[in-house]
Amino acid sequence: MKVTEHIAKAKGKTQFTFEILPPLKGQHINALFKSIDALNEFKPPFIDVTYHREEHIYKDRGNGLLELKVIKKRPGTVGICAAIQSKYKIDAVPHILCGGFSKEDTENLLVDLDYLEIDNVVALRGDSIKSETYFTPNKDGHNYANELVQQIVDLNQGNYLDKELLNSYATHFCIGVSGYPEKHMEAPSLESDLYFLKKKVKAGADYIITQMFFDNQKFFDFVTKAREEGITVPIIPGLKPLSTTKQLNMIPHRFHVDLPEALIKEVIKCKDNNAVRQVGVEWCIQQSKELMTADVPFLHYYSMGKSDNIKQIAEGVF
């Protein structure tokens, strides 16, 4: 079932959803299933599964030469989605990227997803890989997420890359895209970021899911500005509870979001990470409750594969 159909079915009730990431290569999938088991009682209508790009590493060949290896540390997005749908009968939403994909790769991926009866995708550009300063698209790949959205919409209309395909089947993907209440790190202003967000929606995105934020006012202002721009699709807030002192620096650095002073002060007072985890849970419960009163369709939690704090939050909210 499509994310938009889940919204319609809920008739205004806010629902619980979450995002997981595939395990590191070499780890068993059971740990991931255990974290889903722990959250299953909150009846998520869908679970997002992130996609992780390749990395370039250099191996010392021992003769003064370095060998470039292209590796994937977290493969398995599509397999995990298929496993979730089969094991839990919950819709799985794979994230798909421009980065690392040619248009042909994307089309083939979408064909696989369609065969697996996966009805939803989140279409993203992706970040630059670690060895690049700026995002570089694949040869014959997409530069920006709006182009990827367009390709999915084309397939939904039965238009494949090979124009000579006859009687081609039209897929029916529901398409999510990202939004950034505190603007994307590369955007010169929030206004310009919203301009390009509208481009993704015009191309055919069905809903927006936001980057994490810790100050609800930033989300409310973002929604107001998006509506003023004429963006009418549902906007789903993404939430992440803080869980370690280290994240005070890591989160602003990595995700380009600010932390409210009151939250920072509470974390600094903590004696250990158990106490930080509790502060993070309580902050996120307050955020969630306020967002619920604003009638958001879902509260979408970034679990990062750890379910205990998300479970505590869900118990406090749903």
In whole angstroms, the minimum distance from the beta carbon of 197 to ligand FAD comes to 7
Q: In the complex, what is the shortest distance from the CB of residue 213 to ligand FAD, in angstroms, rounded to a whole number?
A: 10
Scanning 181-189, 216-224, 266-274, 285-293 for contacts with ligand FAD by CB under 6 A, the matching segment is: 181-189
Calpha distance 254→245 (Å, rounded): 15
User: Cα–Cα–Cα angle for 110, 206, 287, nearest 5°?
Assistant: 115
Q: Where are the alpha helices (DSSP H) in the chain?
A: 3-10, 30-39, 77-88, 103-115, 145-156, 190-203, 216-228, 247-255, 261-269, 273-293, 308-317
Contact string 199-218 vs ligand FAD (x = CB under 6 A)? xx--------x-x-------
Query: How far is residue 129's CA from residue 265's CA, in Å, rounded to a whole number?
Result: 34
Among 57, 111, 153, 187, binds ligand FAD (CB under 6 A): 187
Largest CA distance in the chain: 66
Tell me the C-alpha distance between 209 and 298, whole Å. 10
Residue (247 or 266) nearer to ligand FAD, CB: 247
Q: Within 87-116, which residues bind ligand FAD (CB under 6 A)? A: 95, 97
Rounded (to 5) percent helix, strand, coil in the chain: 40, 20, 40
Hey, what amino acid is at 254? R
Cα–Cα distance, 298 to 15 (Å, whole number): 5
Q: Is 270 in the site for ligand FAD (CB under 6 A)?
A: no
Nearer to ligand FAD, 14 or 50 (CB): 50
∠ Cα 266 264 224 (to 5°) = 115
Q: Which of residues 121-180 bind ligand FAD (CB under 6 A)?
A: 124-127, 144-146, 178
Q: Does 256 bind ligand FAD (CB under 6 A)?
A: no
Positions in 48-77 near ligand FAD (CB under 6 A): 50-51, 53
Q: Which two tokens stand for residue 256?
A: 């380009």
Given the complex with ligand FAD, which of 123 and 317 has the nearer CB atom?
A: 123
The least distance separating ligand FAD from the CB of residue 44, rounded to whole angstroms, comes to 16
Nearest to 46 by CA among 241, 209, 214, 201: 209
Query: Which residue, 184 or 264, is less far from ligand FAD as judged by CB?
Result: 184
Work out which of 119, 193, 206, 215 binds ligand FAD, going by CB under 6 A.
193
CB of 218 to ligand FAD, least distance (A): 13
Q: Give yes or no for residue 237 binding ligand FAD (CB under 6 A).
A: no
Q: Does 198 bind ligand FAD (CB under 6 A)?
A: no
Count of residues of this chain found to bind ligand FAD when the rule CB under 6 A is applied: 24
**Calpha distance 241→256 (Å, rounded):** 16
Answer for which of 186, 217, 249, 268 binds ligand FAD (CB under 6 A) is 186
Rounded CA gap, 267 and 164, in Å? 60
Stretch binding ligand FAD (CB under 6 A), from 105-113, 118-126, 155-163, 307-315: 118-126
Compute φ and ψ for 94, nearest 5 degrees. Answer: -75, 140
Which spans of this chain sit near ligand FAD (rule: CB under 6 A)?
A: 50-51, 53, 95, 97, 124-127, 144-146, 178, 184, 186-187, 192-193, 196, 199-200, 209, 211, 238
